[in-house]
Structure 1
Amino acid sequence: MQNAPYHGDVAAGPKASAHWLTASDGVRIRIGHWPVEGTAPPKGTVLLFPGRTEYIEKYGRVAADFAARGFATLAIDWRGQGLADRLHANAGLGHVLRFSDYQKDVAAVLAALPDLGVTGPLFLIGHSMGGAIGLRALHNDLPVQAAAFSAPMWGIHITSYLRPIAWVASTTLRGIGLGNLFAPGTSAPSYLTTAPFEDNTLTRDPAEYEAMRQQVTTHPELSLGGPSMLWLNEALREMRKLRALPAPDMPTLTLLGDNERIVHSGNIHSLMARWPKGTLQVYPEAEHEILMEVPSTRQDALTRITTHFETALTGTQSLEAAQ
């Protein structure tokens, strides 16, 4: 495990270390670790599985919030994004050969925990694409005490009449060797560098939006554009498989904005309705980035997540039961 670059100038988080890890297939990924400073041991470590296009610096402020609540944080640059190895000559293309390859990244992280001095307990937060990777990891017996999801990608928000076209087009193009084309309506530039704050699909908070935009403009090597048709096809296949499985036997909290326009809200409601140990919290008017939303939503989400994790450790009364 070697030290990796970390752009603390834009992360706005506590002191962190970054490291390179090599997955079993030779792909190099990057992790960021924010321990809890002080003499008291942390309550646990949050394994933060980011979404598509994301990078560890994006979660510096979130790590600071968790540290203040006694939790260390470890975040991942998935293969194909952040400073991890890009999988296509066009660095702006979000690409993966198999969606299951992300589990190789998860395995590399778990193997590195002893070298980082992380002994547990462990908790999971999966945001967007990280929600799909995290759900699969739970089915693969990820050793966590509890899980939380933020707008998990258990479906993609595609207009109903376009959904079958997405299936057919992505399957056909991968079949004839054109899976490395950008998905329709996307291109290499980052959404944050092309979309104004007004009516953006990420957050209602202008300061949070500007902070994210500054990260990818100050360090453009972190940015990523649209997904490839192969990524889209692999994602559609994986999400369909995940929805067909029974819910894992895991205490789970899922957070969702009722103005969600990136992932498929209906699939989240459906899966959580049949999750015996699951709770769904919906935030009025909130967008995709619950942990980077307006302060009232953000703070409520952080409180619910940490209470959920503490409940899994102590068996104390849940926040919902206390209200």
Structure 2
Amino acid sequence: MRRSPSLVLMLMLLFAQAFAQTARNAASAPAGAREIAIGQQYPTGSAVQLANSGVSFQLPPDWLGAMPQGAGAFVLGSNSKAGVGLVIMRGKATLQEAEALLNTPQDLGDGVVMMPDGAPVRSANTLKLNYTSGGYVGRAIAVIGKPGNGVVYFFGGPADQAAYFEGVLNQLVGSTVFFPPQSGPELQRWQELLVGTMLKRMSSYYSGGLDGAYVGGSSEESLHLCSDGSYAYSSNNNMSVDGGFSTGYNASAYSDDSSEDVGRWRVEMIGNEVNLVLESAKSGETSYHPISMNGEGHTIVDGKRAYRVPSDRCR
């Protein structure tokens, strides 16, 4: 059956519109976008940005957004639609890193854990992935910009809203503008604080009885951050056990476990958090470690104190 010219034209227009929803790249931050502030709520239709990530986007209809304190993601919620949305912006990103982030179970809290459903679908600069969890579904897309930055959009909720979530993701991608990330004073401060230093953690424990029985151990981690962007990591854990004399014999055991790694390091803002980013030369994996300073001036990495001293390994 032959299609009429009007139908062919309509299909061509639909085809063009389907691929028009792509992110844009710009030489500078778009005018009118509001810089995301921690704890500030943004209404439907707001154009927002994170300058340190070089990403701007517009909130879709019916959805409000905010960046909670201590969060690494911009959270979307609605008073009229079921579900939740997340936006993760990064000043440096690759599709490989995005796949490592997305192709794992996603814990949304309240006992809802989204499991990847099928293989990721990749294009030149995007990666899409679906999730399921009982009566819930999730949809995610990662987009990489020309400056080398990226954004991940995720929506999850009731399974019957799957098509709606895909439409919202399409709107978000269509509103996205990538521009060169603008390094702020906080990143510069941490770069200066960390270069040429060693971050070190040490811990030990001991428990003994009157009969001479005991168990004890210690652990030590060292991370050297050199000025050429390289790092060297080492860890050592040991444990010793002695059964004492009440057992009728003196049984003891000792174990030692150590590991080393090398690679490249940098500091990066993820949401409102400064992160120490480690790219392992051995495994090829990239890990992100929130780093901050408490009120006493102690360096906190992954929520635990680390001693920051001059490195005796970096030259």
Q: Pick the TM interval, shorter chain.
A: under 0.3
Instruction: Name the larger-Rg structure.
Output: 2
Q: Report the structure, 1 or 2, having the larger helix content.
A: 1
Q: Report the structure, 1 or 2, having the larger strand content.
A: 2
TM-score (structure 2 length as normaliser)? 0.24
TM-score (structure 1 length as normaliser)? 0.23
